[in-house]
Amino acid sequence: MITLYHCHAARSFRPLWMLEEMGLPYDLKMLPFPPRVFAKEYLALNPLGTIPLMIDGETRMTESSGICHYLGTRHGPTPLIVGVDEATYGAFLNWMYFSDATLTFPQTLVLRYTRLEPEERRNSQVAADYTKWFFGRLRGVEAAVAASDTLCAGRFTAADISVGYALLLAQRIGLSAEFGPAVAAYWHRLQARDGFRRAVAAEKLAGEQQQVVRRF
Ligand SMILES: N[C@@H](CCC(=O)N[C@@H](CS)C(=O)NCC(=O)O)C(=O)O
């Protein structure tokens, strides 16, 4: 059984959504955010203290987009993965890596300096600078989804899950009102997917059953 450690609406939502899209069985362990402060025992499992952590037999992974890629290949085949023989394989990989390294990175600074730090350390200038940076980086997504319903391969793939999570996070930190028209419509389409809805329902249910308090 695959085990996924997750905090509400955190990057671990990417593998959770992927698991639901693939219909794989899994065990979802909810943690309060950030676990390094509110669930210190988790550091014994993942010394980084970050989520996600996915355990599948001997395999342990802590990178959200990498876990999606792993699930689709190890537990596939699935159309959610673009294969090496497909024309848009490179574009697929680029979106997968872009989703966290390029797109989510500036968002985490906005989150940190508007909500996570104690009042006296919050910094509106940092938040404004990285908000601008995020929207600069989102331009590539706007162009891609203005031309097609999905990012690549002419179908919904793990790249849409990985990039789609950044849109979820943007909504969570109050940036979604500034989405361009194509990204707004794309985000609407993503949220309408059964797999997305099942993932949202699964995290809600697990949070309630495990009595994990949502702080953010
Ligand atoms: N590149 C990693 C980043 C993992 C990460 O930093 N996760 C955040 C939550 S979204 C976290 O655990 N933050 C808490 C902390 O750093 O203590 C990924 O894509 O999974």
**Cα torsion for 20, 54, 92, 176, to the nearest 10°?**
70
β-strand partners of 60 = 55
Task: Please check whether residue 145 is in contact with residue 155, taking contact to mean a CB–CB distance below 8 angstroms.
Answer: no
CA of 147 to the centre of ligand 1 (A): 31
Atom of ligand 1 lying closest to residue 36 CA: 17
Residue nearest to atom 13 of ligand 1 (CA): 50
CA of 10 to the centre of ligand 1 (A): 8
Atom of ligand 1 lying closest to residue 65 CA: 19
pLDDT of the residue at 46: 98
The response to whether residue 100 sits with its C-beta less than 6 Å from ligand 1 reads yes
The response to whether residue 14 sits with its C-beta less than 6 Å from ligand 1 reads no
pLDDT of the residue at 173: 94
**Which residues 6+ apart lie within 8 Å of 152 measured at CB?**
82, 88, 91, 92, 95, 144, 159
In the chain, alpha helices (H): 13-22, 35-38, 64-74, 89-98, 105-111, 124-147, 158-172, 181-191, 194-209
**Which residues 6+ apart lie within 8 Å of 140 measured at CB?**
98
pLDDT digits (tens), the chain, 216 positions: 999 999 999 999 999 999 999 999 999 999 999 999 999 999 999 999 999 999 999 999 999 999 999 999 999 999 999 999 999 999 999 999 999 999 999 999 999 999 999 999 999 999 999 999 999 999 999 999 999 999 999 999 999 999 999 999 999 999 999 999 999 999 999 999 999 999 999 999 999 999 998 876
CA of 96 to the centre of ligand 1 (A): 16
* 1 burial level (CB within 10 Å; 0-12, 13-18, 19+): exposed
CB count in 10 Å sphere of residue 18: 29
Atom of ligand 1 lying closest to residue 67 CA: 20
Q: Is the pTM of this model over 0.95?
A: yes
With b for 16 or more beta-carbon neighbours within 10 A and e for fewer, the 163-172 pattern comes to: bbbbbbbbeb
Task: Please check whether residue 20 is in contact with residue 198, taking contact to mean a CB–CB distance below 8 angstroms.
Answer: yes
Task: Please check whether residue 2 is in contact with residue 24, taking contact to mean a CB–CB distance below 8 angstroms.
Answer: yes
**Which residues 6+ apart lie within 8 Å of 215 measured at CB?**
32, 33, 38
- With both helix axes pointing from N to C terminus, report the angle between 89-98 and 64-74 in degrees, rounded to the nearest 10: 140
Give the three-class secondary structure for 123. Answer: coil
CB count in 10 Å sphere of residue 158: 32
Question: Which residue matches tokens 């601008």?
Answer: 132
The response to whether residue 112 sits with its C-beta less than 6 Å from ligand 1 reads no
The response to whether residue 49 sits with its C-beta less than 6 Å from ligand 1 reads yes
pLDDT of the residue at 199: 98
The response to whether residue 64 sits with its C-beta less than 6 Å from ligand 1 reads yes
The response to whether residue 11 sits with its C-beta less than 6 Å from ligand 1 reads yes
CA of 203 to the centre of ligand 1 (A): 17
Residue nearest to atom 9 of ligand 1 (CA): 10
Q: Measured between alpha carbons, how far is 136 from 130 in angstroms, rounded to an integer? A: 9
Residue nearest to atom 2 of ligand 1 (CA): 63
